[in-house]
Structure 1
Amino acid sequence: MTGKSRAGGRSEWTLWRALEEWRAKKRELEPMFAAAGLGDEQETLANRAMVDLKRAPPTPPLVSGDTQRDIEEARRYREAYYRHFDESLYKIEALLRLPWVPEMEPLAEAIRGEIAMLREWMTEHPGSRPDFGRLEALVQHYVKLDHPELPLPEGLLEGRRRALMDIAGYPLLVQHALKDPFNEAVPPLTSDAFRTEFDARVQTYLDTAWLHSKVVTHWYATLALDAALARKKRDSTDRARLASLLRRRWPTLSVLLPGFEQADQLWYLVLSGLTFFALFAEWWIPAGLLVVWLSASIGAHRREKKEMEARQAYLSTQVATMKRMRDRFVSGVTQPDKLAFQLRQIDEGGEYVDDILYRLLNLHTYDTEE
């Protein structure tokens, strides 16, 4: 095994452990684990129910010779006998109400039908022990996912467990990577590569219904806000980007060659040299035009600087506002529908917040009362 493989395995194990820890804290995550055949309670409930079905039923009452009393005691015995087994059947029904692999639903219906027939048989034959053999076999097949007539597609559960890692665990992976500046597992939040990768993961999450969970949706929405906030912070300090947002720019070499850092210095050095040359050569008209151009350039650059400072102050204010919105959402103060409204107000052009975030926020029904 190569070093890279060992590192990958260690990374996957760490991510899986993080998912398991969140599963222990948030019961809302249980359905998606159960859909991958990783339920915690199913086997325990099934074993308890099977043990209860094997318990000795109540003993019949002794005949006292008092006809009325014997009839009453016999009635109570039959009711206690029925309740004795019905409690076990109720536990099996509780097992079927737990989330589980969706492909096992036909078998769950068969178990419910078997329970209904057993109850009907116990009603028709009071005080008689029914045969639970078929029910026990069905329950075992249900828990072990090995019914011969309902085979699972090959690789189904393995694929779902991989999806748990790659899709549900993606926000946790990003959070872990952000804590380590030398971790290159994911691209920087401000990069186009991250935006593309993130949108692809969210789209897969939205298309995979069994993964839908308010907890995971909250993770993705928080990560989208963090990425938008990081891009806005970058833009508020990026002078080149601030300059590109100006409506009218004074024509300079840097406008034509934005990748050339010293373009303006070179441009005005050349213009200044030409101005001095024209003055010494007594070319008054060209010299006058160059002086006017240089003077106008100074005024234009001062105007652009003020506009850039105003734009920077505006973006800095928006950064602070978005940071408050993000913190209130993470803490549960702001509901998703209200957050969507606020984001549309602060990002009308959709420059920082993608439409896919609004789809995330609309994925679940929330209680809007605070």
Structure 2
Amino acid sequence: MFKCYPAAWRHYLHVLLTSGALCYSTATPALGLGEISLHSALNQPLVAEIALLDAQALAEGELSVGLATADEFNRAGIERVGLLNDLRFTPVLRGERSVIRVTSNKPVNEPFLNFLLQLDQPQGRVVREYTVLIDPPGSPGIVPLADVEPVPVARSPAEDVVPAQSPVMSSSDGPGVVDPTQEQLAASVLQNQQLQLSIDELRAGLQTRDDQIARQHQQFSELQAQLAEARQPRSEAVAPLPVAVAPLSENGKDSTPWRLIALSGFGGLLLLGLFLRDQRRQVADLPEPDVPHQPLPVIEPRPLVERSIEPIAPDTTDRLPLKNDDLSMDLQWELVNPFDSAPDPARPTAINADR
């Protein structure tokens, strides 16, 4: 029975140590992310600092800072632009005032930046969204970053920051004395900004002129189209006539030629009748020819020579008997118009008498 006591004490001590470790971890203050302060202007490399809250107990190498993942950006509805890939995040631990320095190698031309910062620590992970509004050079709200040597924590060679790129106040000088180099740098930045503004104005003027030229070209093309439409009906005024006649010729293919033939024949007959009527009128209007009257010669009848005609005995063998009526001859009188042709006096015409 007593042999079980050491095992029970060991188990009890193990539970006490585990609970004590848990209580100590919960009692440790949680690390947090504070506000961001900007120390650079527009068209300059970015220089900013993010305050670290309750970071006194952190040691070197326990903190990792960077942009959040693409899924975090999508869930937050933030676009991850290419400019964010140039940002460098460097933890600077200085006791009570620990910060995360945010820098970039290239000048920032955007008036604002929006990104998600991810902080990995032994107690967990912290993600926070930051929006930085960047003012133009010469603005009163821009405070240059003091020349303080940072204490790097888990820095990589690619994350080195060149302090000469940012405006620096000289610590040897008094608080009211401005470095001439900084003054020249500010003047050059202001001049660059003015040049940029003038370039933007020139671009806007060129864009406006291009728009005006495009509208003028469009108006010119519309006028050309209207002129072509106005000229087209004049040149094609005769063209619709065959198109309108063609269906009539196809539909009246069987009837129209006959009508034309009948009309032409009727007109020809009418003209012929008028011509004949005129000819008759002309003939009727002509005077009668003056033909001398010649007396008709008196023709005395000559007696016929009587011949003895012996009766012929009828032939009984004749199979075709003749009738008396068949022997008679029909004499026709031939009337001669005396005005058509004058009779020859030397040759009197014989007049047949009916016997």
When the two structures are superposed, what TM-score results if normalisation uses the length of structure 2?
0.21
Larger Rg belongs to: 2
Q: Which has more strand, going by share of residues?
A: 2
